[in-house]
């Protein structure tokens, strides 16, 4: 077994400094375990056998050192927010004081303000670890033998190794904050809540709030009526500490429909378009000192998955309407590239903008114009279908009916069953052709029956 002794010393120092060893928190058992390991190592100084020590250490084989790394990182970020903070353009300083007790407090026992502070710490870490431009790599400690003796030394200048990197990261975070990029939006929302609570205008605007059996909620239609195309100040929206639910109002009886109850296709439509809007706005909000993008290529692969045919049919129109409502500071043009098997989406695209692929290679044999084309024609020609645009089982069944009626290889008693199967065919032209063949055999069968009846009567009269 190996153990990071330097890291243990840091964690132990942290626990002692903040009086966590006696607290009933998640970190309590962690520190308790580390303390026990330190005691075991100290046994070696008094001549205890290695076998006895190793036997005790078996209890800690599953110990996760990443927890201690996370512990130090959280504490370092808390100290940076308290001591350094961010300096805004208006000269004000943004600082935050978060105690260790708050970090390890059960989330359900926190006030909304405490939840915001808790969120800010973890969101800061997430930003540093997500965006490589902040230059703050994951903590990586050297792994040393448990019996190296390094546990006896407490590191002096605890953050000496990380202060510079965290300082640089906070400097870049300050730039993103002042530029009001998407990276710091949720941080700004949380700080606004800490400063203003629910006294902010959006929480008390009776023109956009409604009360219902489900509770208090914002009516998006009322927001649209009040603000029109004017963009809301995103910073004043509620922070990411609330549980939320979206409801749709049914037009027929005004009942509320929870978003969770929608079909997979309905959810996919909103998720897809929502993700597109989210990333376009993020690209448009990139901060100063970085590459700004004026032209965006939006690639959508099989976006029609899960969609009802009607939603496939109107998806391009819907997407263009939504994008048309956005206001961009930097983006000037957007190109949309579909990879699709949907004739409905293809019918919204001019042929000059379509590349047909067959077996992975470009195919230029398609002669039919795609824009506004008939769906059946696109299915057969645009997607290289070898047969009619219908299910294979139905295709084989129809071929069987044609072959049967052409051959006449069936009994007269089977005519009614054949008629019923023909009536199941939805395509009117095919159904009409089958009925013509069926009626021909029906008349022939009737004539045969009449001749046989006449012959029977004549034979009886002759007797």
- Per-residue burial over 349-380, b = 16 or more CB atoms within 10 Å of its CB, e = otherwise: eeeeeeebeeeeeeeeebeeebeebebeebbb
> How many other C-beta atoms lie within 10 A of the C-beta of residue 219?
16
Asked whether the beta carbons of 125 and 162 are under 8 A apart, the reply is no
pLDDT of residue 156: 36
Sign of the Cα torsion 392, 395, 396, 397 reads positive
pLDDT of residue 319: 93
Asked whether the beta carbons of 319 and 336 are under 8 A apart, the reply is yes
Q: What is the token pair recorded at 28?
A: 């309590």
Helix axes 163-179, 112-130, angle to 10 degrees: 110
Q: What is the token pair recorded at 5?
A: 């002794």
Closest CA to 338 of 348, 330, 326, 329: 348
pLDDT of residue 2: 36
* CA 95 to the chain's CA centroid: 32
pLDDT of residue 152: 32
Give dist(CA 344, CA 375) in Å, integer: 7
CA separation, residue 276 to residues 68, 186, 294, 319 (Å): 38, 19, 16, 9
- φ/ψ of 93, rounded to 5, equals -110, 135
Mean pLDDT per 10-residue interval, the chain, length 463 residues: 45 56 52 60 57 59 57 81 82 83 83 92 88 59 35 35 70 85 89 84 75 73 70 76 85 84 88 92 78 90 85 90 88 92 86 84 76 72 60 80 80 83 82 81 63 47 51
Residue with tokens 């004017």: 230
- Per-residue burial over 282-307, b = 16 or more CB atoms within 10 Å of its CB, e = otherwise: eebbbbeeeeeeeebeeebeebbebb
- Give the contacts of 34 (CB within 8 A, at least 6 positions apart): 8, 11, 12, 68
CA separation, residue 363 to residues 89, 152, 216 (Å): 57, 73, 57
Overall size of the chain counted in residues: 463
Give dist(CA 302, CA 300) in Å, integer: 6
Helix axes 392-407, 415-423, angle to 10 degrees: 140
Query: What separation, in Å, do the N-terminal and C-terminal C-alpha atoms of the chain show?
Result: 113
pLDDT of residue 158: 40
Instruction: Classify 248 as helix, strand or coil.
Output: strand
Classify 85 in phi/psi space as left (phi over 0), alpha (psi -120 to 50) or beta: left
Quickly list DSSP for 281-323. HHHHT--TTS---SEEEEEEESTTTT--HHHHHHHHHHHHHHH
Residues β-bridged to residue 297: 335
Closest CA to 85 of 72, 73, 98: 98
pLDDT of residue 196: 85
Q: What is the token pair recorded at 306?
A: 């899960």
pLDDT of residue 155: 34
Residues β-bridged to residue 301: 339
> Which helix (DSSP H) or strand (DSSP E) does residue 460 occupy?
helix 428-462
Closest CA to 69 of 113, 125, 10: 10
Give dist(CA 235, CA 180) in Å, integer: 9
Closest CA to 77 of 184, 163, 188, 187: 163
Residues β-bridged to residue 216: 211
> Which helix (DSSP H) or strand (DSSP E) does residue 94 occupy?
strand 93-94
Residue with tokens 């640089």: 168
């Amino acid at each position: 077994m190996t153990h990071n002794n330097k890291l243990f010393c840091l964690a132990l120092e942290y626990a002692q400094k903040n009086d966590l060893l006696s607290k009933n928190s998640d970190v309590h058992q962690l520190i308790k375990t580390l303390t026990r390991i330190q005691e075991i190592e100290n046994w070696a100084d008094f001549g205890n056998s290695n076998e006895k020590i190793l036997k005790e250490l078996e209890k800690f084989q599953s110990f996760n050192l990443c927890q201690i790394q996370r512990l130090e990182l959280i504490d370092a970020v808390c100290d940076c927010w308290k001591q350094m903070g961010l300096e805004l353009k208006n000269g004000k300083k943004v600082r935050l004081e978060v105690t260790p007790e708050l970090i390890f407090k059960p989330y359900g026992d926190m006030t909304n303000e405490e939840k915001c502070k808790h969120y800010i710490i973890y969101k800061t870490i997430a930003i540093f670890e997500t965006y490589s431009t902040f230059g703050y790599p994951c903590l990586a400690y050297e792994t040393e033998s448990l019996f190296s003796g390094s546990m006896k030394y407490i590191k002096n200048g605890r953050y000496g190794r990380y202060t510079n990197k965290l300082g640089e990261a906070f400097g870049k975070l300050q730039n993103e904050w002042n530029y009001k990029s998407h990276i710091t939006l949720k941080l700004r929302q949380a700080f606004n809540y800490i400063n203003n609570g629910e006294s902010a205008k959006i929480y008390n605007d009776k023109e956009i709030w409604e009360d219902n059996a489900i509770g208090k909620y914002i009516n998006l239609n009322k927001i649209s009526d009040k603000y029109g195309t004017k963009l809301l100040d995103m910073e004043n929206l509620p922070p990411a500490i609330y549980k939320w639910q979206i409801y749709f109002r049914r037009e027929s009886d005004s009942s509320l429909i929870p978003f969770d109850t929608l079909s997979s296709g309905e959810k996919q439509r909103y998720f897809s378009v929502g993700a597109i809007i989210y990333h376009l706005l993020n690209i448009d909000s990139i901060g100063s000192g970085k590459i700004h993008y004026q032209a965006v290529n939006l690639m959508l692969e099989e976006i029609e998955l899960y969609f009802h045919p009607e939603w496939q049919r109107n998806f391009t129109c819907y997407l263009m309407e939504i994008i048309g409502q956005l206001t961009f500071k930097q983006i000037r043009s957007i190109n949309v590239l579909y990879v699709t098997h949907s004739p409905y989406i293809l019918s919204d695209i001019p042929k000059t903008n379509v590349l047909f692929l067959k077996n992975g290679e470009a195919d230029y044999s398609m002669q039919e114009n795609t824009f506004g084309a008939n769906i059946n024609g696109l299915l057969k020609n645009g997607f290289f279908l070898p047969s009619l645009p219908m299910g294979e089982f139905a295709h084989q069944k129809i071929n069987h009916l044609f072959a049967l009626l052409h051959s006449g290889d069936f009994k007269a008693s089977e005519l009614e069953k054949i008629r019923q199967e023909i009536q199941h065919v939805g395509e009117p032209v095919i159904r009409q052709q089958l009925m013509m063949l069926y009626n021909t055999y029906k008349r022939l069968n009737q004539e045969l029956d009449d001749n046989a009846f006449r012959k029977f009567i004549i034979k009886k009269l002759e007797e």
